[in-house]
Amino acid sequence: MWFRLALSIGLIAVCTTPAFADPTYTFTNLPGIGSFDAAAIGVNNAGTVSGWQFEPGQDHAGFWSLDGTFNDIGRVDGRRMFGRGINNGGEIVGFSFVTGVGSFPFKWTGGAPVELANGGAGSVALGINDAGAVSGSDVVGGVQRATLWLPDGTNVDIGAGAGSFGGFINNLGHMTGGTAAFAPFYYDGTLNFLDPLVGDIDGIARGINDHDVVVGNSGFPTTRAVYWDAAGVHELPDFGPNSSDAFDVNNQGLMVGTSEGRAVLWLPDETLIDLSPFLPAGTVFASANSISETGFIAGVYVDPVTGYVNGFRLSPIPEPSYLGMLVLIGALAARRRRRRAA
């Protein structure tokens, strides 16, 4: 179970700024099939959650609707499927998996999922922006490299070197990643390296918003949640003394992650919010993996009754006043993309 749980946690100026004090949420359980696990990874502005449901030998990639219903997006060549990122048009990326061979990146835009151009087993797609650009890693000749897939499917080696890996991508087309030596960076046409905290020699860059604020961690083997902005690296408060990690950040500066086995939210002023009160009583492990511009949070937790890993969605109360506007903007953008494709 713990191997599957490790797979399930993260390895992103809208109208008027809302008040952030005393956030409250409603909880939606996103379970697996029968007695198996599930992982909720990404969430968009409409509250649609991407991820997968585990089943021996035939894992299912897909998305959970607002009512908690899981929608299977199908398979690439009958392979096991794992969904990762989702954009505001509902497009999903992830990877298929062949036992004994490895992983292969895919993109789903409706209909059947399509394998992205890649050099071989071990390649993965992790993030997708609203234009349909995809971030991840491609393996060519047995060597992994951080890779950007353009909306037309062309894959671009961003020049981070052998052994590098890609992370997530914002709506500017800028993506995060790390070198083989775990030197974190974000890429905006050039590689911008991000210093870890003083005393640390490495880190991981994960989520990135449209202001190029990046979240992730610093240090190894004990990691500390951090974010990077134009002023440099900032350590986020946690519940210590063990590891913490930040996985995603939205354009309002709300950040989510995990600390001491608890799903957490950091406000823009770095206030730490424990999300445990909004999860089932007795939950012993949880991680918040992503947050939308509309405040939806997706993550995973260990069910205190069954012991299975389930996904969850937290929906903000009250619903943000700009939710309808953002959902409409996302739908219009997706429709324009479909018309151009036609």
Per-residue pLDDT for 23 more than 50? Answer: yes
Mean pLDDT of 45-68: 95
pLDDT of residue 319: 66
DSSP classification of residue 3: H
pLDDT-based confidence at residue 337 (cuts at 50, 70, 90): very low
pLDDT range class, residue 334, cuts 50, 70, 90 = very low
In the chain, pLDDT over 70 holds for what percent of residues? 87
Residue 331: band (very low, low, confident or very high) from pLDDT cuts 50, 70, 90: very low
Q: What is the mean pLDDT of the chain?
A: 90
Give residue 315's pLDDT.
98
pLDDT in tens, 109-127: 999 999 999 999 999 999 9
Please tell me whether the peptide bond between 304 and the residue prior to it is cis, using omega within 30 degrees of 0. no
Comparing 1-5, 29-33, 290-294, 306-310, the range with the smallest average pLDDT is 1-5
Q: For residue 333, give the 3-state DSSP assignment.
A: helix
pLDDT for residue 7 = 52
pLDDT of res. 318: 82
What pLDDT was estimated at residue 21? 64
In the structure, what pLDDT confidence band is assigned to residue 57 with cuts at 50, 70 and 90?
A: confident
What pLDDT, in 10s, does the model give residues 139-184? 999 999 999 999 999 999 999 999 999 999 999 999 999 999 999 9
Cα separation values, 225 from 5, 147, 234, 258, Å: 19, 25, 9, 8
Q: Is residue 197 within 8 Å of residue 156, measured between CB atoms?
A: no
Is 342 a residue whose pLDDT tops 80? no
pLDDT digits (tens, 9 = 90+) for 209-224: 999 999 999 999 999 9
Summary count for the chain: helices (H), strands (E): 2, 28
Count Cβ atoms below 10 Å from residue 195 Cβ, excluding itself: 14
Task: Give me the pLDDT at residue 68, please.
Answer: 95
CATH topology of domain 2-14+23-144+238-341: Neuraminidase (2.120.10)
Q: CA 197 → CA 74, 162, 187, 220, 232, distances in Å? A: 43, 25, 20, 11, 9
pTM, entire model = 0.88
Calpha distance 29→273 (Å, rounded):
20
- The 3-state DSSP class for residue 213 equals coil
172-210 residue pLDDT tens: 999 999 999 999 999 999 999 999 999 999 999 999 999
Give Cβ neighbours of residue 291 (< 8 Å, ≥ 6 apart): 43, 248, 249, 250, 254, 255, 256, 265, 297, 298
CA–CA separation, 177 and 339 (whole Å) = 32
